[in-house]
Amino acid sequence: MRTTLQATLARTIFAAAATLFAVEAVTAQAASDRAMKETMSIGDEPGRISTEEVVITDGPFARQVVFFRSNEEPGTVVIHTSERFLHVVMPGNRALRYGIGVGREGFQWSGLVKITRKAEWPDWTPPPEMIVRQPYLPRFMAGGPGNPMGARALYLGSTVYRIHGTNQPETIGQSISSGCFRLANGDVIDLYERVPMGAKVVIRHGATI
């Protein structure tokens, strides 16, 4: 399974230059090889409870409508990893903006993908690489309030990455995941309702010197 994913990723790296045309092209701009091998590599407090009511209510990472000039169609999801924001493009130079947690350095990436699957209260199966790094993690965890995957997951193309909830809402705005994008549970539920299967997701990362 993972080998297939790796091969897909490798194939699609070169298509990245033509991201506008390649539906599931993923550039691994800053992602290390290790990051690519991961699935759902996220924080590590299984059992911590965060209910679906949790939303970010104040400050920059609160869900809010902002000015956002874009050539993307309304409904497109635009993620700015450097700024820790996820935007859902709206008509009239606006976007609904959510605060997110992103991959730590070396686990940040950019590209164009589509939503290929949606799941409520997803299960969590930490990959072997993650078990090696964090041996205390469970081998499998059924979906639910204590699951680090949180209340909802949106699967990104054929990549190993997801937009998902979290049982650690205080990590929104930080860069600690392994390439996934996490929202507070209440916010990911709100997003889940707005983003249909097949929606376009543009992931952008700031320039590096």
Partner 1 sequence: MALSLKMIRQALLGGGLACLALLPQAANAGTLDDVRQRGTLNCGVSQGLFGFSERNSNGQWSGFDVDFCRAVAGAIFGDGTKVTFVPLSASERFDALREKKIDVLSRNSTWTLDREAGLGLLFAGINFHDGQGFLVRRDKKAVSALELDKSRVCVQQGTTAVAGAEDFFRTNSMTAEIKTFPDSARTLAAFEAKECDVMTTDSSGLHAERLKLAKPGDAVVLPDIISKEPLAPAVRADDIAWYTIVRWVNFALINAEELGVTAANADEAARSTKPDVKRFAGTEGEFGRKLGLSPAWALQAVKASGNYGEIFERNVGVNSRLGIPRGLNQLWLNGGILYAPPVR
Q: Contact with partner 1 (CB under 8 A): which of 21, 67, 136, 140?
A: 67
The amino acid present at 190, given as its one-letter code, is D
Q: Any contact of residue 64 with partner 1 (CB under 8 A)?
A: yes
**Residue 131, both tokens:** 């078990």
Q: Any contact of residue 149 with partner 1 (CB under 8 A)?
A: no
Q: Are 195 and 47 in contact (CB under 8 A)?
A: no
Q: Any contact of residue 29 with partner 1 (CB under 8 A)?
A: no
How, if at all, do strands 85-90 and 94-99 pair?
antiparallel
Of 112, 117, 84, 87, which is closest to residue 100 (Cα–Cα)? 84
Instruction: Choose the binding region for partner 1 from 16-24, 27-35, 66-74, 119-127 (rule: CB under 8 A).
Output: 66-74
**Catalytic choice (80, 87, 180, 205):** 180
**Catalytic choice (80, 87, 164, 205):** 164
> 């297939």: which residue's tokens?
4
> If you ran DSSP here, which 8-state letter would residue 141 be given?
B
Q: Contact with partner 1 (CB under 8 A): which of 87, 152, 162, 182?
A: 87
80 tagged catalytic:
no
Q: Any contact of residue 204 with partner 1 (CB under 8 A)?
A: yes
Of 8, 77, 42, which is closest to residue 179 (Cα–Cα)? 42
Under the rule (CB under 8 A), what is the footprint of partner 1? 57-60, 64-70, 78, 80, 83, 87, 90, 92, 94-95, 204, 206-209
